[in-house]
Amino acid sequence: MNSNLNQEQDFEQLNIEKVRNIGIMAHIDAGKTTVTERVLFFTRKIHRVGEVHEGMATMDYLPQEQERGITISSAVTTCFWNNARINIIDTPGHVDFTVEVERSLRVLDGAVAVFCGVGGVEPQSETVWHQADHYRVPRIAFINKLDRVGADFFAVVNAIRKKLNANAHPTQIPIGKESDFIGVIDLIEMKAFIYGRDSNGMEFDWVDIPDAYRQEALIYRDKLLEAISEIDENIMQKYLDGNEINPQEIRQAIRKGTTTGKFIPVLGGSALRNKCIQPLLDAVVWYLPSPLDLPPVEGKNPKTNESEKRLPMKKEPFSGLVFKINMDPHAGKISFFRVYSGQLQSGTYVYNSNKGVKERVSRILIIHANRREDVQMVKAGDLCGIVGLRNATTGDTLCEERYPIVLETLVFPEPVIEVA
């Protein structure tokens, strides 16, 4: 667990395969704020293990005062989980297609759609979902509030399929209902994750599936494999031959399906149970794409008017997009920025190809839940705040003057939505 500390120190060395740029989307009251706060609290807390009392990391319900200091109001917040860097982009929950929504959807690579286990697919969640469809944002679904009276995980899965026309399948199923909701079963590992502690006060982790739930888990695992077979030849062959399929292969097939819009993995929990955030974070890393899994960004060379592509690699010419501007009482103007290719050093000059001017990058900031960090360099796939840009406005491309480009709307892979 201490590796989380090292990961942060090695920010500049982190691999792009381990970057997840995600948004959390939901209709009002489904639990978007709670889920986001728990993700930030949970990852920060894990990050501090070793520094503070170990017991803190195993809290099931959070006393109010421990949550203080958590900010989720930033345009982008960075947290670390299991060798991965997760950038959470604040996606406004507007119900119509505003420029603001468009800009934030443009810079994310995937999203967690939060549904209420009782309310299910409500009219507003349909709107948000269709927005994400429009921008072809790869998604996983998280059915929240499974502890509430009337919560029905499988009814919501069905509603996601029918009302949202999505090829949605549980990758985890809940153990118990309402006030007896006690954990989840992962259908790929075939292990149970049970909340709570044993008699020694140690928190439970992944354990064998309780006998009473084994049969049900096998049935749902079979359904899941069947669904994955339909989108993946390799899994299909092994499934038909009755061969053992390893979890890694299944996860890869799901990630491919999620990235191309062919598949929506569904999991559930209760954001009030702190521990349920762990399987959700795992799912983000397993099933949502890294910048490398997506097609290269495209743009126009303003000199030649020709189309050009930029790959998310360090050796490519530097390019990226300003997606939000904030005025900060301490730092002044912060331009939130996504790097698509190459790398950006603090203290250097960049070319703003929309404005036709050079601008100085005086500081590069990474914003965590409760603090900011100055970094010397950011590279392809990263999201950061830049201090010092005088002329930049939202939507501007920054690049190298020698290789000018104006980036266009990010297009995700062609969606193939299949009704199950």
| Residues annotated within a binding site | 26-33, 90-94, 144-147
* Shortest separation between residue 264's beta carbon and ligand GDP, angstroms: 19
Quickly list H helices, 99-208: 99-107, 123-134, 153-164
CB proximity list for 375: less than 8 A, separation 6 or greater: 11, 12, 346, 364, 365, 366, 384
* Shortest separation between residue 285's beta carbon and ligand GDP, angstroms: 22
| 3 state DSSP class of 66 | helix
Residues within the interface to ligand GDP (CB under 6 A): 26, 28-34, 144-145, 147-148, 270-272
Identity of the residue, 32 or 44, whose beta carbon is nearer to ligand GDP in the bound complex = 32
Q: Which residues pair with 89 in a beta bridge?
A: 23, 76
Identity of the residue, 111 or 228, whose beta carbon is nearer to ligand GDP in the bound complex = 111
Q: Which two tokens stand for residue 381?
A: 């796939």
Query: From the centroid of its chain, how far is CA 399?
Result: 26
Q: Which two tokens stand for residue 242?
A: 């009755």
Binding residues for GTP: 26-33, 90-94, 144-147
* Shortest separation between residue 39's beta carbon and ligand GDP, angstroms: 12
* Shortest separation between residue 92's beta carbon and ligand GDP, angstroms: 12
* Shortest separation between residue 73's beta carbon and ligand GDP, angstroms: 12
Nearest C-alpha neighbor of 321 from the set 393, 377, 374: 393
Identity of the residue, 145 or 338, whose beta carbon is nearer to ligand GDP in the bound complex = 145
CB proximity list for 282: less than 8 A, separation 6 or greater: 82
Asked if 272 and 286 touch (Cβ cutoff 8 Å), the reply is no
Query: From the centroid of its chain, how far is CA 147?
Result: 24
Identity of the residue, 147 or 359, whose beta carbon is nearer to ligand GDP in the bound complex = 147
Identity of the residue, 29 or 328, whose beta carbon is nearer to ligand GDP in the bound complex = 29
Q: Which two tokens stand for residue 225?
A: 């494999």
